[in-house]
Amino acid sequence: MENYLNFIGGEWVGSVSGEKHEHYNPAKPNECIGSTEVSTPEDVNRAIKAAKSAFKGWKATSSVARGEILRKAADILEERADDIAKSATLEMGKRFIETKGEALRGASILRYYAQEGYRKTGEVLPSANAGSTLLALRVPVGVVAAITPWNFPIAIPIWKLAPALVFGNPVVWKPAQETGITAAKIAKVFEEAGLPAGVLNLVLGRGSVIGEVMTEHEDVTAITFTGSNAVGQTIAQQATANGKKYQLELGGKNPAVVLADANLDLAARLVVEGAMKQTGQRCTATSRVYVEAPVHDQFVEKVIEQAKQIKIGDGLQEEYTMGPVASKKQFDTVTGYIQKGKEEGATLLYGGEALDINGGYYIEPTIFGDVTHEMTIAKEEIFGPVVAVMKVADYEEALEKANDTIYGLSAAIFTTNLEKAFHFIEHSEVGMVQINGETGGAEPQAPFGGTKASGQGPKEQGQAAAEFFTTNKTVTFNPFAK
């Protein structure tokens, strides 16, 4: 059984404590797949010191050269996609076809940001003073703390690391403890691509022990975090109190609206995909569906038929289309919400049962009807294969209820009415809108993130990433001053 180390200052090192965390396959919980170090605050302090020491040289490196390292990393990641994807599947249960797609997506993200090294790093502005030139430059912010979740253990870290690095920032990265093996393999990719020592540092351990050290350390300038709302709010408070820049991508309770004129077969298929892909463990997963009354019953039948086609089993086996949830903790959380839905009066239309397959953490695709907005399953993020279908009188009621949430990440509408589609684009209170598409999905070149309780700070990905990972420096140039 291999033990994976921290990566600090260009070296693979054990933690000060010597404590190990064993990783078990959620499809076969008795199967130990390896171990990782459990970092201490002292380990984190060493990593931050290494990053700070590397900053001067890294920001002085040509952005073109920094981009070239990312391009090499993309090639290495693509070559190792199968191995890294398998590690992710064994650690958190997502199907291999999904984790491999995530690895290839990570390579695309790296290639996109490699090209950022060739883009402009500022602009020339006119000055009111004759003979003067104004330069507005984009410069790196400094040491970045990146804290990433277990549900997308490849893509989310890379879409944080790639822009941070190409814009000239060193990084201290703490992945979720559940996916530390996958993280170590990703760090190895960057090492072999030629990153200088100290530019990327990996610490493996419990967020409750080392997270606060990262967010409050005086040498950390910016914090990028994806995870729960509770932890995110704590980070926001700490960052604000310590004058640090922060970027939060948090939860979602994403609605889909199905109008009577929609292609119901398409809508049913994409609603089920949106709710059940990655076993529902996505912040952009479809969680609430509002269906106009004339087609409600027909739509429900089609959704159930789609759910019946899902085959549940080990994510390494191609014949299965949904794997287990990531852990016993997640299993208990999701089954608890299903039980809560029943107790509060929702009708269980399909699924809802735990399955005993090799002792794994399997839950059937679950569809609820007769859900009201006062019910827990209508308000709280479940992060599992559970969706609530609700009948509405018309588009206006659907829009009102879709917006009736603290979250604002993603929303979808299924319709052939262009007027209502554009109205939904304007009035849906989310950061991302899909027209005749499922609520999930993102591309490297487009901003990613939500509004309200779903996100704070500059958006991720695309050109928007520069807003967070750089800061403005204004220069007045007077070459002929006397």
Residues tagged active-site: 249
Phi and psi at residue 411, in whole multiples of 5°?
-150, 155
* HEC secondary structure over the chain: CCEECEEECCEEECCCCCCEEEEEECCEEEEEEEEEECCCHHHHHHHHHHHHHHHHHHHHCCHHHHHHHHHHHHHHHHHCHHHHHHHHHHHHCCCHHHHHHHHHHHHHHHHHHHHHCCCCCEEEECCCCCCCEEEEEEEECCCEEEECCCCCCCHHHHHHHHHHHHCCCCEEEECCHHHHHHHHHHHHHHHHHCCCCCCEEECCCCHHHHHHHHHHCCCCCEEEEECCHHHHHHHHHHHHHCCCEEEEECCCCEEEEECCCCCHHHHHHHHHHHHHHHHHCCCCCEEEEEEEHHHHHHHHHHHHHHHHCCCECCCCCCCCCECCCCCHHHHHHHHHHHHHHHHCCCEEEECCCEECCCCCCEECCEEEECCCCCCHHHHCCCCCCEEEEEEECCHHHHHHHHCCCCEECEEEEECCCHHHHHHHHHHCCCCEEEECCCCCCCCCCCCECCEECCEECCCECHHHHHHHHEEEEEEEECCCCC
